[in-house]
Amino acid sequence: MRPALHITVVTETYPPEINGVANTMRHLVAGLTDRGHRLHVVRPRQGTDAGSGDPRPGETLVPGLPIPGYRGLRFGLPVFARLRRLWQVERPDLIYIATEGPLGRAALKVAAALGIPTATGFHTQFEQYSRHYGLGLLAQPIARSLRTFHNRSDATLVPTSELRDRLRAQGYTKVQVFGRGVDTQLFSPTRRRAPLRAHWGCGPDAPTLLYVGRLAAEKNIALVLESFIATQASLPKARCLLVGDGPERSRLARRFPQFHFVGAKVGVELAEHYASADLFVFPSLTETFGNVVPEAMASGLTVVAFDAAAAHNYIRTGDNGITVYPYDDLAFVNAVVAAAQDMENLPHYGRKARATAETLGWDRVIDTVEKCLFDVIQQRATATGPQHLAPTPQ
């Protein structure tokens, strides 16, 4: 019987915010709580908290500032003194730091001063993002800063073995895989809705192409649109749908009125949009994982993606989806058009994709993370003396 842990999660993004890190943190906190551990979340106060008074149970809210280019999100300020007081009064067994912003860096420094074990999450490839915002000269300094930050923790958790090996080659130490799961009850082919397809103007003999994600340069959104244009040139009845928000949405919606820009969706509404499409188009190359890929697979869609991150892990080309060698834009567009023209075989790919997704439950992922966190605490205890942990309630 494993003991119960008191774990603090420090993150600069958390539900109801919509992004991959927030979604992963939701599953991490819920999964560890279900196993009898006591979780506490430290995060910036966001716009959704305005006027709400006290934080939700199990949360500490800290001041933050808006993140440029990310409307509605804020990064946490480095509240060293507040974190020190919080953890001196109620000391966690371990601190999981999900983000590398000012709040995350302050948490790592305070944890080191207090001798509290830490694990950090590598969730976002900021050095790659910098190239899409005219900051390419900062890519190397950002990469060095991230490496220094993560190497100061007791473990760095990454979503794939591919990323683990790449980071190790770059000088990262103590890197372990924290995989990702998918909610196959929420994301399911049973969510397909004929009225929704009719609303998009999609007939039974015409494919609907779908993109889900942030509408921003770093997501390679230009290649999504190029693929949509090429498909409609070949199949005029095809419908093309973009689910998500971001700095490019308004401009692109004006420029491409033939496509449906429906904004961000969550929960059942998002699941219905997935399942009511036929082909998922995802050319991003800046993902550490890409949660939308297994979500689309669980929804019974054929996925066309570059052979990287989640697509590299889960898609077998010609069996349960289609992958293209990274950075070959022409091959990607051709693959999308060919798949859209092959409506008869899309259900076959979709059924195989669903079967793959059914093996990706979050329970397996949380089991792996739980073991990693216990290993971190044990390694620290070996060096500094054991901590006294309460038994996990059964």
CATH 3.40.50.2000 domain extents, the chain: 3-181+361-391, 189-357
Q: Nearest Cα to 164, choosing from 180, 151, 182, 177?
A: 177
Task: Say what angle helices 102-114 and 80-89 make with each other, to 10 degrees.
Answer: 40
pLDDT per residue of the chain (394 residues) written in tens, 0 to 9: 678 999 999 999 999 898 889 999 999 999 999 999 999 999 999 876 755 555 677 999 999 888 776 666 778 999 999 999 999 999 999 999 999 999 999 999 999 999 999 999 997 755 444 454 445 546 678 888 999 999 999 999 999 998 999 999 999 999 999 889 999 999 999 999 999 999 999 987 889 999 999 998 889 999 999 999 999 999 999 999 999 999 899 999 999 999 999 999 999 999 999 999 999 999 999 888 999 999 999 999 999 999 999 999 999 999 999 999 999 999 999 999 999 999 999 999 999 999 999 999 999 999 999 999 999 999 998 877 655 444 433 3
The region, left, alpha or beta by phi > 0 then psi within -120 to 50, assigned to residue 216 is beta
Token pair listed for 71: 């409307």
Please give the CATH number for the structural domain made up of 3-181+361-391.
Answer: 3.40.50.2000
> Per residue in 178-234, pLDDT tens?
889 999 999 999 999 999 999 999 987 889 999 999 998 889 999 999 999 999 999
Q: Give the pLDDT score at 127.
A: 45
Determine the straight-line distance between the first and last CA of the chain, rounded to whole angstroms. Answer: 9
Q: Give the pLDDT score at 286.
A: 87
Q: Give the pLDDT score at 125.
A: 56
Residue 114 has φ and ψ, to the nearest 5°, of -95, -5
Q: Give the pLDDT score at 249.
A: 95
Show the 3-state SS of the chain.
CCEECEEEEECCCCCCCCCHHHHHHHHHHHHHHHCCCEEEEEEECCHHHCCCCCCCCCEEEECEEECCCCCCCEEECCCHHHHHHHHHHCCCCEEEECCCCHHHHHHHHHHHHHCCCEEEECCCCHHHHHHHHCCHHHHHHHHHHHHHHHHCCCCEEECCHHHHHHHHHCCCCCEEECCCCCCCCCCCHHHCCHHHHHHCCCCCCCCEEEEECCCCHHHCHHHHHHHHHHHHHHCCCCEEEEECCCCCHHHHHHHCCCCEEEECCCHHHHHHHHHCCCEEEECCCCCCCCCHHHHHHHCCCEEEEECCHHHHHHCCECCCEEEECCCCHHHHHHHHHHHHHCCCCHHHHHHHHHHHHCCCCHHHHHHHHHHHHHHHHHHHHHHHCCCCCEECCC
Q: Which residues contact 290 (CB under 8 A, 6 or more apart)?
A: 20, 282, 284, 305, 309, 310, 311
Centroid of chain to Cα 92: 26
CA distance 149 to 62: 21
Q: Does domain 189-357 have CATH number 3.40.50.2000?
A: yes
125 within 8 A of 288, measured Cβ to Cβ: yes
180 within 8 A of 294, measured Cβ to Cβ: yes
Q: Which residues contact 358 (CB under 8 A, 6 or more apart)?
A: 184, 298
